[in-house]
Amino acid sequence: MERNSKLKIFIENIKFPLLAILLSFLIGALFIIWTDNNPLVAYGALLSGSLGGLDRFGQTLLKTTPLIFTGLAVSFAFRCGLFNIGAEGQYVIGAITTVAAGYIFNSIFGDLPRFIFIPLVMLAGALGGALWAAIAGFLKSKLGVHEVITTIMLNYTSIHVSNFFVRTALNPSTLEGTTQKAYTVSLPESARLTQLKEIIPLFGYSSVHTGIFIAIICAIIAYFILFKTTLGYEIRSVGQNSHAAEYGGISVSKNLVLAMIISGMFAGLAGATQVAGLNYKVDMAPISPGYGFTGIAVALVGKNHPLGVLASALLFGILSNGARRMQIEGIPKEVVGIIQGIIIIFIAGERIIKFVSKIRERRNRKSNVEGVN
């Protein structure tokens, strides 16, 4: 009986996202036809470019990794009723903190063993993102400042903070006496994540690294925290009804701050794994890379569930990596962006429908009560 109810809930949760994805691909097909191309060829190229061989699948996982982290960041905050638009800024701070930690630890202790150095820089990136998110959490809980406003402003600030350190304290010209560069010093070799092709040569040219496993572990941890711990129960209670939670003895302000801190840790880890697994340094950036903003879409499609985020991030990774192959076939890569946008519109549409239906239910109840009186 319990299994049947859980199965029904599962089907109910995935029904609308699957329908949204299907309809989005159908509408995308119309745009492809409009460009005088065959949708079957286009989608065949999409799948071939993202899943056609272990090397291409590896690149898809590479695109998926930061989206898992930022999707978890956004969804975790959502569970507490917080709209964390600041995952982008937390990603940026996590990245620059990782480079800083790598340089500082290397300067003090020399070339540390990988099993010590990698966790240290990962922790530094997570703490950087957590502290950046904590600012918004504190302002929300203590002063009532809406997190959307603070996280948007912190996104812009994070870019300038990162660029400041790229130009000054972490620039090779400052530390190594070279000419001014548009990037930081590189992360030491022993602080870098292992690329899977070093373990499994079949991954070929793919740069996918062990950060994908860290991301999956984080999704499991997020699930455990939310659904198997007292903290998770309190966070979800605050998200569902903060007044009822407070009446029940749950500290709303404490959970708002904690939810933002944990959310920021996930986003910071996205930056840390990108630096330690792929880029090895941070570049001067006029704009941020966009993983945090895409994480909002990943969280929405994944229904704010950690395991749903894994599937959703993989979908967006497939679309992102497959777009290159579509372009080779002569199909504009913007079609993929259109499909992603339509998916989000449909998912948002579901929430609007539920919101409207709740308002109607309240009105009906009110009219029934008035009718009885």
The pLDDT score that the predictor gives to residue 290 is 87
C-alpha to C-alpha distances, 304 to 67, 307, 325, nearest whole angstrom: 13, 9, 30
Alpha carbon distance 316, 197 (integer Å): 23
141, part of any domain: yes
18, part of any domain: no
Question: Residue type for 16, please?
Answer: F
90, part of any domain: yes
All residues at 6 or more sequence positions from 55 whose CB lies less than 8 Å from its CB, including other chains:
202, 203, 204, 205, 206
Task: Between 217 and 369, name the one with better pLDDT.
Answer: 217
85, part of any domain: yes
Structural contact between residues 299 and 76, judged by C-beta atoms closer than 8 angstroms: no
255: tokens are 């959970």
Average pLDDT over residues 344-367: 67
Look up the domain containing 207 and give its range.
66-299
Q: What is the per-residue pLDDT across 213-258, written as a single tens digit (0 to 9) for each?
A: 999 999 999 999 999 999 999 999 999 999 999 999 999 999 999 9
Q: Is the pLDDT of residue 7 over 90?
A: no
137, part of any domain: yes
Q: What percent of the chain has pLDDT over 70?
A: 90
332: tokens are 């504009």
351, part of any domain: no
Sign of CA dihedral 51, 52, 54, 60: negative
Mean pLDDT score across all residues of the chain: 90
DSSP state of 209: B
Instruction: Please state the domain count of the chain.
Output: 1
271, part of any domain: yes
Q: What is the per-residue pLDDT across 263-289, written as a single tens digit (0 to 9) for each?
A: 999 999 999 999 999 999 999 876 677
Indicate the pLDDT class of residue 364, thresholds 50, 70 and 90.
low
58, part of any domain: no
Q: Is the pLDDT of residue 182 over 80?
A: yes
Alpha carbon distance 335, 347 (integer Å): 19
Q: What is the per-residue pLDDT across 289-339, written as a single tens digit (0 to 9) for each?
A: 789 999 999 999 999 999 999 999 999 999 999 988 888 888 887 888 888
Q: What is the per-residue pLDDT across 197-209, written as a single tens digit (0 to 9) for each?
A: 999 998 989 999 9
Helix residue ranges per DSSP H, the chain: 2-34, 39-51, 54-79, 87-109, 114-138, 147-167, 172-175, 211-228, 230-240, 242-247, 252-274, 291-301, 306-328, 334-372
Q: What is the per-residue pLDDT across 8-51, written as a single tens digit (0 to 9) for each?
A: 766 777 777 888 888 899 999 999 999 888 999 999 999 999 99
Half-sphere exposure of 340 (CA within 13 A, CB side): 23
What is the value of pTM for the model shown?
0.91
The pLDDT score that the predictor gives to residue 1 is 53
